[in-house]
Chain A
Amino acid sequence: MSKLWEIREVSTVAILVLEIAFFTLYLRPEGARTHPFFNAPNALLILKYSAIYGIAAIGAAIVIISGGVDLSPGAVIALAGVVAGQRFVQAQWSLTASILTGLAVGAAAGGLSALLVVLVRLPPFIATLGVMGIARGAAFIVTEGRYFDVSAHVPVDWRVAGLPLDWIAPTLMIGLALLFQLFMTRFQWGRAVFAVGGNATAALFSGVAIGTVQASVYVIAGVLAALSGVVLTVVQGQGKADLAMGYELDIIASAVVGGASLSGGRGSVVGAVLGTLIFGVLRNALPQIPGATFYDRLIVGLVVIGIVVMDQLFRRSEGYRP
């Protein structure tokens, strides 16, 4: 068995803990007022907004582990969100039917990426760049520039399976992260994803159905991005075509910070979700520091580079050779 400190997720947790400790100290209030950062409602807020990235980052991490990359999640989030919103608000469908339609749209977008990558043999970067444009365009066509106010149709004290609205997104994120972690580590399918990402030729020779494996990861990523979009629409209360602009890069960054290697074959689903939490904390805490508002993108960029460089130095010291 691996020793505790050799597990990659542990170092991601450590970074997250250090980060929280830093902001807790830095933002500590004077006197006996409640802490502006370290309190339960704020923690829930961070979890809720991170979940939008986090659910999609699970799929992104799986795609990256398989040796590909998916640039479409931001656009798919928006498209699935507006489709579900439009069905629910305009077409007056039931919530379940609207959500399922949103997820189906995500599956279709993922399926298109899969088709382009596996059958047409486009490089994943190009294929998913195209799908990103198509999905974003479709979102604008569906909405015709309007937005759907979902919140008016969802009662404030609405619960799903006994969960209050605010808890749904974090619960989904954590549950799905654990589920897919299990798929990736204890199921032969996950093993095959790692094999294809590490060496597709050797995987092919070893009897792995590499086309099926590659196709499956894009479809899964599409569905998970769509779920993020549906959650965003329901939680935020509105569906808009220009939501989640540029999320794909944050999502990929989260997966990478969580240990995924863009050359494939390495990474972790739980790590990717922890990565989104690292960014979620930053996005939440930085605006509370006076004068830091304009620095937050810059700091996010520095954090990505810093963590990945640290990771590489660590691996090199272990005698790892690329």
Chain B
Amino acid sequence: MAAVEFDHISKSFGAVRALSEVTFAIERGSAHAIVGENGAGKSTLLKILAGTVRPDRGALRLDGRQVMLAGPREALARGVGLVHQEMLAFPNLSVAANVFAGRELMAAFGWLRDRAMRVRTRDLLARLGVPLSPETLVESLPVALRQIVQIARALALDCRTLALDEPTTSLTAGECDHLFGILEDLRRSGVTLIYVSHRLPEVFRLCDRITVLRDGRYVGTFERRSVDHDHVVQAMVGRSIPPRPKHERSADAARSLLRVERLSSAPCFDEVSLSVAAGEIVGLFGLVGSGRSELLETIVGLRRADRGRIEIDGRMVRIRSPRDAARAGIVLVPEDRQRQGLCFNLTVRHNLLLPLAEASRQWLVGRAERRTANALVDKWRIKAASIDVTPDALSGGNQQKVVVAKWLALAPRVLLLDEPTKGVDVGAKDELHAVIRAAAAGGAACLVVSSDLPEILALTDRIAVMREGRIRGELRAQDADEESVMRLAATSAGAAV
């Protein structure tokens, strides 16, 4: 009997088709992985399973019975628990309150049975091997423990199916091992695991079956024993990836355009020195929390440096805000386009021209605005019905192109990019890479932060690796491979949970 069956599930968000006709089943008691690239539809599928998103078409069956989930509450009642990557915990409440949130144990008149909840929480945490007081506030816990609190919550509500969405993204190697130990125990006790990740080694370690999604479509389900790593990658990408030709250039390191010297900002990074030449693309790699994004934010004045200097063309610059930075020719394409990149109440045209108009101290809204915006849309091949629609009518990849294009409209001398291709599909990724290369070819100094190793290796000339707020090494891209970069980036000792 299948624990979960997806039957021709389709879902669109605005113009973006997230899932189309996805059909497959997950056996009771198995550990089943769902893999795919960013934008393949994994998370949407999980949200449908958890009841937070309703499919446009198709049926969902749990234990053979067709269900229409009205919300997460109903999914929980039917034994499906979801552990989110961005956790929906209540940081201001205790562990016990989080475990029982929404399903509190109550006596008559809604009187809370606090002690009973504390005892059950303690038992559950002990079963998960985490000796943690149920009264601890969740906000005082590290991410890894918060995740375990979520798992405890699913167990407290007697979930027989546990879905995990990228649970290891922010965990250290040691924490991952601990989590896997717990998951393997759960599986032995009969819990069905649905594991969504783009980290294939984890998938091969934990799961029996692997379902591949690509661009919202079902590609296939494979037995772990019958496939290897490369096979799954090919299914994810839809083609075998030819090694990309490097753009060979002799970067003139002596003529560095951006130079950062012994820049420190406690507690995020310390004594960082770095230089980028005109026309050069430098990659900045590091795991989450290594201080990369904070370094970029400091360069454009979003946070204060404690010590150190920033030079453009050999002259020291004082930058107190992104406004100052833009006027000095430095722009940051931020990581989170929803939150930091776009104003969703403004049209694509207004979004595209905002930095240019602000940096040029323009008073009037320009007459040529429409022409300039159309030129940008054509130049960077942004697919939009018109320049007068709001960005939510665009696909993720095209939204991201708007974010990049609005900064390139300034013709910046220094281009800082934080995860420029996060959450966009393969095609848009290639196009964004082309855009960045074009900017570099035009003489901009580009510094790209990315957690996507293949991207860093393919795109950049030089790679600086950060770990725990310091630069741990620099590699020329042609000498680097995934292993050498990762060795610099990963913490040596697997920190215990």
Q: Take A194-B346, A319-B14, A321-B14 as given contacts and tell me if A207 and B340 are in contact as well, using a CB distance cutoff of 8 Å.
A: no
10 additional A-B pairs beyond A205-B322, A209-B358, beta carbons within 8 Å, are A185-B365, A191-B350, A192-B354, A195-B354, A203-B343, A205-B332, A206-B354, A207-B321, A207-B354, A208-B358
**Nearest-neighbor residue (CB-CB) of A319 within chain B:** B14
User: B364 near A: Cβ within 8 Å?
Assistant: yes
Docked pose: A206 CA to B327 CA in angstroms? 11
Size band of the interface chain B makes with A: 20 to 34
Residues in chain A near residue B343, CB distance under 8 A: 194-195, 198-199, 202-203, 206, 265
Distance A321 CA – B338 CA, assembled complex (angstroms): 14
In the bound complex, what is the Cα–Cα distance between A201 and B321 (angstroms)? 12
Cross-chain contact B326 with A207 (CB below 8 angstroms): yes
Within 183-217 of A, Cβ neighbours of B (below 8 Å) are at 185-192, 194-195, 197-199, 201-209
State how many angstroms separate the Cβ of B84 from the closest Cβ of chain A.
21
Q: In the complex, which of the residues B344, B355, B363, B388 contacts A207, with contact meaning CB atoms closer than 8 Å?
A: B355
Interface size on A, residues (CB 8 A): 28
* Chain A residues positioned under 8 Å from B355 (CB to CB): 206-207
A266 within 8 A of partner (CB): yes
B361-399 vs A, CB cutoff 8 Å, 1 = contact: the mask equals 011110000000000000000000000100010000000
Nearest to B326 among chain A residues (CB) is A207
A-B residue pairs in contact (CB < 8 Å), sample of 10: A186-B364, A187-B365, A188-B362, A191-B346, A192-B358, A194-B343, A194-B346, A205-B302, A205-B332, A206-B322
Asked whether B365 lies within 8 Å of A204 as measured between CB atoms, the reply is no
Using CB atoms and an 8 Å cutoff, list the residues of chain B in contact with chain A.
Answer: 14, 302, 321-323, 325-327, 332, 334, 339-346, 350, 354-355, 357-359, 362-365, 388, 392, 406
Contacts of A186 in B (CB 8 A): 364-365
Task: Tell me if A206 and B406 are in contact (CB < 8 A).
Answer: yes
Look across to chain B and name the residue whose beta carbon is closest to the beta carbon of A65. B345
Question: Which A residues between 162 and 191 are near B, CB-CB below 8 angstroms?
Answer: 185-191
Q: What is the CA–CA distance of A204 and B355 in the complex, to the nearest angstrom? A: 10
- B345/A191 in contact, CB under 8 A: no
Q: Are A205 and B364 in contact (CB under 8 A)?
A: no
* B341 partner residues in chain A, CB cutoff 8 A: 202, 205
Which A residues are closer than 8 A to B by beta carbons?
A: 2, 185-192, 194-195, 197-199, 201-209, 264-266, 319, 321
Complex-state Cα separation, A194 to B359, whole angstroms: 17
Once A186-B364, A188-B364, A191-B350 are accepted as A-B contacts, the answer to whether A199 and B358 lie under 8 Å apart by CB is no
A201 engages B346 (CB within 8 Å): no
Contact (Cβ within 8 A) A266 B345: yes
Neighbouring A residues of B321 by C-beta, 8 Å: 204, 207, 209
Hey, which chain B residues are within 8 Å of A2, CB to CB?
Answer: 388
User: Complex formed: what's the CA distance from A198 to B392 in Å?
Assistant: 13
Given contacts A204-B322, A206-B358, contact A197 B345 (CB under 8 A): yes
Contact (Cβ within 8 A) A208 B350? no
Q: Closest residue to A321 on the B side, CB-wise?
A: B392
Taking a contact as CB atoms under 8 Å apart, the answer to whether B363 and A198 are in contact is no
Leading 4 A-B pairs by shortest Cβ distance: A198-B345, A265-B345, A198-B343, A207-B358
Bound CA span A192–B334, Å:
19
Contact B342 A199 (CB under 8 A): yes
Which B residue's beta carbon lies closest to that of A209?
B323
- Shortest CB–CB separation between residue B403 and chain A, in angstroms? 9
Please tell me if the beta carbons of B358 and A188 are within 8 angstroms of each other in the complex. Answer: yes
Question: Is the Cβ of B357 less than 8 Å from the Cβ of A188?
Answer: yes
Q: Which residues of B contact A204 (CB under 8 A)?
A: 302, 321-322
Question: B297 → chain A, closest Cβ, in Å?
Answer: 10
CA distance A191 to B321 in the complex (A): 19
Nearest A residue (CB) for B297? A205
CB atoms of A199 and B344 under 8 A apart = yes
Establish whether residues B326 and A195, one from each chain, have CB atoms under 8 Å apart when the complex forms: no
**For the complex, what is the distance from the CA of A38 to the CA of B323, rounded to whole Å?**
54
Q: Is the CB of A187 within 8 A of B363?
A: yes
Is there an interface contact between B14 and A208, defined as CB atoms closer than 8 Å?
no
A84 to B181, CA, bound (A): 76
Give the nearest-CB partner of B324 in chain A. Answer: A207
Specify which of A191, A202, A264, A266 is in contact with B340 (CB 8 Å cutoff).
A202
Tell me which residues across on chain A come within 8 A of B354, comparing CB atoms.
191-192, 195, 203, 206-208
Would A195 and B346 be within 8 Å (CB), given that A206-B322, A206-B406 are in contact? yes
Which residue of chain B is the closest to A200 with respect to CB atoms? B343
Contact A205 B358 (CB under 8 A): no
Min C-beta distance of B406 to chain A, whole Å: 7
Q: How far is the CB of A118 from chain B (nearest CB, A)?
A: 14
Contact, CB under 8 Å: A198 / B358: no
Closest CB in chain B relative to A199 CB, distance in Å: 4
Shortest Cβ distance from residue A316 to the other chain B in the assembled complex, whole angstroms: 14
Contact A207 B322 (CB under 8 A): yes
Closest to B343 in A: A198
* Contacting pair A205 B365 (CB below 8 A): no
* Bound form: Cα–Cα A186–B323 in Å: 21
Q: Which residues of B contact A199 (CB under 8 A)?
A: 339, 342-345
Query: How many whole Å from B292's CB to the nearest CB in chain A?
Result: 17
Q: Is the CB of B345 within 8 A of A188?
A: no
B346 CB, nearest partner CB in chain A, Å: 6
Q: Which residue of B lies closest to A189 (CB)?
A: B363
Q: How far is the CA of A264 from the CA of B344 in the complex (A)?
A: 11
With the chains together, A198 CA to B343 CA distance in Å? Answer: 6
| B-chain residues with CB within 8 Å of residue A197 when the two chains form the complex | 345
Write out the residue numbers on chain B whose beta carbons fall within 8 Å of the beta carbon of A207. 321-323, 325-327, 354-355, 358-359
Give complex CA distance A68, B350 in Å: 21
The distance from the CB of B128 to the nearest CB of chain A, in whole angstroms, is 37
| Given A206-B322, A209-B321, A319-B14: A201 touches B340 (CB 8 Å cut-off) | yes
- Nearest residue (CB) in A for B367 is A186
Other-chain contact of A208, B302, B323, B388 (Cβ < 8 Å): B323
Contacts of A208 in B (CB 8 A): 323, 354, 358
Complex Cα gap A185–B350 (Å): 11
Which residues of chain A are near B322, meaning CB under 8 Å? 204-207
Q: Closest CB-CB distance, B274 to chain A, in whole Å?
A: 21
Among A198, A207, A266, the one with the most B-chain Cβ atoms within 10 Å of its Cβ is A207
Per the bound structure, the CA–CA distance linking A204 and B325 in Å amounts to: 11
Interface residue from B339, B365, B392 paired with A188 (Cβ < 8 Å): B365
Q: Which among B325, B334, B364, B388 is the interface contact of A187 at CB below 8 angstroms? A: B364
Closest to A204 in B: B322
Q: Is the CB of B339 within 8 A of A202?
A: yes
Closest-CB distance, A93 to chain B (whole angstroms): 35
Residue A205 contacts which of B327, B340, B344, B359 (CB distance < 8 angstroms)? B340
How far apart are A10's CB and chain B's nearest CB, in angstroms?
17
Docked pose: A296 CA to B343 CA in angstroms: 40
Pair A191/B365 contact, Cβ less than 8 Å: yes
Question: Cβ of A205: which chain B residues have Cβ within 8 Å of it?
Answer: 302, 322, 332, 334, 340-341
